[in-house]
Amino acid sequence: MKPEDTAILIVDDEAAVRESLCKWFQLDGYRVDTAADAVEALKKMQEQPWDIVFLDIKMPGMDGLELQRRIKQIDKGVVTIMITAFASVDTSIQALKEGAFDYVVKPIDPDDMSHLIRNAIDHRRLVTENLRLRRQIEEISSPDKIIGESQALRQVMERVAAVAETDSTVMIRGESGTGKELVARAIHSMSNRRYSPIITINCGAYTEGLLESELFGHEKGAFTGALYQRRGRLEMADKGTVFLDEIGNIGEKMQMDLLRVIETRQFTRLGGDKLLNVDFRIICATNKDLEKAVRDGTFREDLYYRLNVFSIVLPPLRERSSDIPLIAQHFMQKFAQSMNKNITEFSPEALEMLVKYEWPGNVRELRNVVERAMVTAKGRRIEADDLSFPFSSSSSDFFGDDSLEEVERKHIRNILERTNGNVAQAAQILKISRLTLYNKIEKYQLKKKEP
């Protein structure tokens, strides 16, 4: 790691200590900033990542030991070095037990600093690598895996396996909630890049200017508010994979910039002039009709062909309804564990409702429906009346200007359809008596076939 790639934060209430350490490290080329107390230090920790933090143990307000605990909650991998007066060595030993890398005793000898910093940088590298490998292992063994045995899903997984070991750019297409990010992670996990990071960025969540900064990074002073140099997501993905979600939402300038990066694998940080070469694979995803966007002139044709080298289309959940019981059971087990509930199955009626539903929100919506049912379920299984479908066509949100009676008629009709005309079950879901429901069925003539 080069000195300019190492960010050091010095936290001490003594201005002389802050200034002398800052001057020594800057002379060696490190990026350095200071904080006079814990509040300022925590604010700076939230603003950007730091590699090494020097902490004075004795400070007014929050002391160095408590501050170290707070800092480790923000960044487990940061290296902390305690600064102490000779009389508080016992406390510094306590700090070592709680995760500090080392401590220095005032007055600080500058000759000791160079050796200490080199060791701290090596330690930071090891800690970062261990954390990355741990995340990699967790990712590979994540319970949020692709679940299903349908023919449609098997075809998807065959394409995933075929492209994983190549370096080809992949475009994943499908409705929202179909699991595009899971497929991207599956490709990465099965590729030769699996021991390097996969960096995800939702292109639709940023303005064009912010997206540019996120992808390419920026130099200090590149724009108002750029107080520090910051690496972009592309740099972070070196040797790994970049997953660009909602690629169809990027603007014209970003399309041009991205095209240039894909062709050369070179870019500069905003405000910088140093050309960076980064080795990464691109996987992108969209729920938009990009061919139409190309025809309409809102998406560059040359970028479209660069990104659409290998396409994987995810089927909506309604087209693989045979997978719904497996997926629902998976979410049930997951939430039973996190909620500490002994719920182990769906009733036949509940399972039938899940399979028959259209799932406009796909797997994401199914997950939410199961989670809500887990909250309300009383016994050891989820019953039909534990299920609610807020985005169903039966919802009052979709009845527009219908009268109250018309809304009620449609809602009762839909519940009866979902329960196959089972009045007892429908009454239970509607939370009214069977007699009341019979009266409403007669009132709205629901026994007759609807037009």
Res 426: pLDDT: 81
In this structure, what token pair is assigned to residue 3? 């000195």
Q: What is the mean pLDDT of the chain?
A: 86
In this structure, what token pair is assigned to residue 376? 């309300």
Burial grade of 143 (CB within 10 A; 0-12, 13-18, 19 or more): exposed
Mapped onto helix, strand or coil, the DSSP state of residue 356 is helix
| Over residues 162-179, mean pLDDT | 94
List b or e across 162-171, with b for residues whose CB sees 16 or more CB atoms inside 10 angstroms.
ebbeeeebbb
H or E stretch including 34? Answer: strand 31-35
| pLDDT greater than 80 at residue 158 | yes
List b or e across 364-398, with b for residues whose CB sees 16 or more CB atoms inside 10 angstroms.
ebbbbbbebbbeebeeebbbbbbbebebbebeeee
Res 85: pLDDT: 77
107-134 per-position pLDDT tens digit:
888 777 888 888 898 888 888 877 766 6
Res 401: pLDDT: 57
Higher pLDDT, 336 or 142: 336
Mapped onto helix, strand or coil, the DSSP state of residue 198 is strand
| pLDDT greater than 70 at residue 382 | yes
H or E stretch including 315? Answer: none
In this structure, what token pair is assigned to residue 192? 């030769």
pLDDT band at 5 (very low <50, low <70, confident <90, very high): confident
| pLDDT greater than 60 at residue 87 | no
ω into 390 cis (within 30 of 0): no
Yes or no: say if 366 and 331 are a contact pair by the CB < 8 Å rule: yes
Yes or no: say if 286 and 250 are a contact pair by the CB < 8 Å rule: no
SS3 letters across 77-95: CCEEEEEECHHHHHHHHHH
Q: Is the pTM of this model over 0.75?
A: no
CA dist 198 and 243 (Å) reads: 7
239-289 per-position pLDDT tens digit:
999 999 999 999 999 999 999 999 998 999 999 888 999 999 999 999 999
The candidate with the shortest Cα–Cα distance to 249, out of 190, 205, 212, is 205
Query: CA dist 181 to 6, 84, 165, 384, Å?
Result: 32, 47, 18, 31
| Over residues 322-329, mean pLDDT | 94
Q: How much of the chain is in helix, strand and coil states, percent to nearest 5?
A: 50, 15, 35
User: Looking at residue 220, what DSSP letter applies?
Assistant: T
Yes or no: say if 190 and 233 are a contact pair by the CB < 8 Å rule: no
pLDDT band at 89 (very low <50, low <70, confident <90, very high): low
- Counting every residue written for the chain, the total comes to 451
Yes or no: say if 198 and 185 are a contact pair by the CB < 8 Å rule: yes
Give phi and psi for 105, each to the nearest 5: -105, 130
Mapped onto helix, strand or coil, the DSSP state of residue 133 is helix
Among 26-30, 70-74, 207-211, 291-295, the range of highest mean pLDDT: 291-295
Query: CA dist 305 to 163, 165, 241, 267, Å?
Result: 17, 21, 19, 21
| Over residues 32-51, mean pLDDT | 89
Res 317: pLDDT: 94
Among 42-46, 290-294, 355-359, 437-441, the range of highest mean pLDDT: 290-294
| pLDDT greater than 80 at residue 410 | no
